[in-house]
Structure 1
Amino acid sequence: MDQHVAEAIGRPDLIRLDDRLVCLRFETMKVVSALAAVRHLLDTGVVRRGATLLDSSSGIYAYALALACHRHGMHCHVVGSTTVDRTLRTQLAVLGATLEQMEPCDDLKLDQKRRVERIHEILAAHPEYHWMRQYHDDIHYLGYRVVADRIREETGTDRLTVVGGVGSGASTGALTRYLRDASDAAPTRAAPTDVELVGVQPYGSLTFGAQHTSDPEIIIAGIGSSIPFGNVAHELYDTLHWISFDAALSGAVDLLRRHAVFAGLSSGAAYLAARHEHDRAPERTVLFIAPDTGHRYTDTVYTRHREAAPLADLAPRDIADQTELALPWSRMPWNRTPTPPLTA
């Protein structure tokens, strides 16, 4: 029996959508990493119960950290993006978390920069606070070990392709690192010998060198970045997809219509990329990550479902380098290349 609701929320569902197409569906994905990170900090004596944990978030991580703090008797202070909605603000308030939300801003790159600046101001005034550094500390990889074990046990394959939004690098990077590591495999099952990683990015994100591009709708918060992220392991990724808001909307609507999975915008982008990878290599099992539900996207995505293009009409432009990037969808081999100079 779970001892706290965060443990139940952090446990994902594995759903087979089609032959060799699997959805790893979370209610709120980053709960699994926040719980493990806070538990590790307590166990190693870095923080004590009652301390204040601080970080910046565009939404999902704010809720995850608030739940982890509630579970372990900590205080939570979040500098939130302008995209944090009323439902989440209310939940954070009732959970006792402190939320400082940025003023409305059309430029999410500026929003991200302002949040980081505010973090440093808070730390200067409160050096006793512990900054969780979700974008830089690979302590956030720890919680995905148990998820990787479950994937290994239930997919029953040695030819696995993992697809997901890159974001801070924790979810896709951690899952792939644990899946590729034979020492992590349970005695009853060997580690998959062939695990490929496909990362999904929005236009405008500098993580893989697309900062010279832009999406007229929005940079998809949570899977891209306008600042360098220290815990993205570029050398883990085999292929990259850059997907626009409109294409991601079409993916999200199709995922709900075809498979009844109500998930967020980045889930729609990952689903779109996963279907393409599945069609390219039908002999492989393709697993994509759906990091949250679709509730906070009802007004911005699902009420526009009539605008969704049929997926048969969408295909990526295959490119050789970032100078060829073009909306609405581009695909490029990455071949496990180390960190590009612009994001170092």
Structure 2
Amino acid sequence: MSTADTFLATYETPRPARLAPNLLAACFPLMKLIPARFMIARARASGYLSSGGHIVETTSGTFGLALAMIAAAQGYRLTLISADTLIDRTLRCRLELLGARLEVVDDPDGSGAQSRRLERLQAVREKDAGTFWPAQYDNPDNCYAYGRLAEWFVRQVGQVDCLVGCAGSGGSLCGTAAILREVFPELVVIAVDTPPVCSSGHPPGQRLLRGLGNSILPRNLDHRLIDEIHWVGALPAFAAAHQLCRDHALFMGPTSGAAALVARFAGS
């Protein structure tokens, strides 16, 4: 393993946090590195991405950061497309310092401008025919990457009775659940989400919880694997994130807070 790969592997390795006697959390420096590294490696192996090639993706946060870290370490060109309501100054500076080219589209209604972002992405791909698009919402490699996380849970816990995770792109929740259910057929899988979300018939709209409440239908979000969906608003999610900090010294975002809140409820 190269020095760059060792460095990146450290960022994608979880550490266990015992939130309750029957509740274990997997805490990551940057979880999105798991699918990002796996997808890039598979693209290189299959010939879809050449050495020093061009990667393009739409992002609202940490998947883009993961791609930027990989691109900087492995010498790829990277274009990230986002909306002005999604990228704050701190994240933008981090992405640009890592060498990513950031294109930001207008988002007047605050819904995330997903259609505008995809239109711009297609324009970039048409201009550069050799561009690789990871397509995290639909690429099955996103799910396959989380086989390692399923193995980690088995090593840490042994018998896994219930898995709680954010719906998001479907990669982490469904990828982990698919493997765990092969081992534990009675596993209960709980998805955490926030409205509005188009899979439940909601039109695109403003959301305070980024990473939840999809305005598109991810192919990787396999509802056949999910037993329950729990809806969490912004206020309880932020409050739960503050509680993680106070009680466990875990500095996590509100989507992690939402998952922890539901997991505590499920384990009570």
Tell me by how many angstroms 1:25 deviates: 0.9
Match of 1:56 among 55, 58, 65: 58
The 1:171/1:32 distance shift into structure 2, 3 A limit, reads same
Distance in 2 (alpha carbons) for counterparts of 1:13 and 1:114? 37
Q: Give the unaligned 5+ runs of structure 2.
A: none
TM-score by length of 2: 0.92
Match of 1:230 among 206, 219, 228: 219
List aligned pairs for 1:1-344, cutoff 5 A.
3-4=3-4, 5-82=7-84, 83-103=86-106, 105-109=108-112, 111-157=113-159, 159-181=160-182, 191-207=183-199, 209-211=200-202, 218-279=207-268
Distance in 2 (alpha carbons) for counterparts of 1:2 and 1:243? 41
Distance in 2 (alpha carbons) for counterparts of 1:90 and 1:52? 20
What amino acid is the match of 1:221?
R
The SS at the match of 1:131 is coil
Tell me by how many angstroms 1:142 deviates: 2.8
What amino acid is the match of 2:46?
T
What amino acid is the match of 2:212?
I
Say if 1:79 and 1:102, in contact at 8 Å, map to a contact too.
yes
Tell me by how many angstroms 1:101 deviates: 1.9
Distance in 1 (alpha carbons) for counterparts of 2:2 and 2:74? 14
The 1:105/1:141 distance shift into structure 2, 3 A limit, reads same
Tell me by how many angstroms 1:72 deviates: 2.8
The SS at the match of 1:130 is coil
Distance in 1 (alpha carbons) for counterparts of 2:117 and 2:161? 37
Per-residue CA deviations over 1:28-74 (Å, capped at 9, x if unaligned) read 21111100110111112222111101110001111011112233322
Q: Give the unaligned 5+ runs of structure 1.
A: 182-190, 280-344
The SS at the match of 1:194 is coil
Tell me by how many angstroms 1:16 deviates: 1.2
Say if 1:203 and 1:219, in contact at 8 Å, map to a contact too.
no
Higher percent of residues as helix: 2
The SS at the match of 1:29 is coil
1:288 equivalent in structure 2: none
Distance in 2 (alpha carbons) for counterparts of 1:236 and 1:278? 19
Tell me by how many angstroms 1:126 deviates: 2.0
Tell me by how many angstroms 1:114 deviates: 1.7
The 1:38/1:133 distance shift into structure 2, 3 A limit, reads same
Say if 1:138 and 1:231, in contact at 8 Å, map to a contact too.
yes
Larger Rg: 1
The SS at the match of 1:231 is coil
What amino acid is the match of 2:223?
H
Distance in 1 (alpha carbons) for counterparts of 2:105 and 2:24? 37
The count of corresponding residues between Structure 1 and Structure 2 is 265
The SS at the match of 1:87 is helix
Distance in 2 (alpha carbons) for counterparts of 1:49 and 1:29? 25
The SS at the match of 1:129 is coil
Per-residue CA deviations over 1:160-188 (Å, capped at 9, x if unaligned) read 2111111110000111112123xxxxxxx
Tell me by how many angstroms 1:155 deviates: 0.6
The SS at the match of 2:41 is helix
What amino acid is the match of 2:254?
L
TM-score by length of 1: 0.73
Say if 2:204 and 2:215, in contact at 8 Å, map to a contact too.
no
Distance in 2 (alpha carbons) for counterparts of 1:161 and 1:271? 13
Distance in 2 (alpha carbons) for counterparts of 1:78 and 1:219? 21
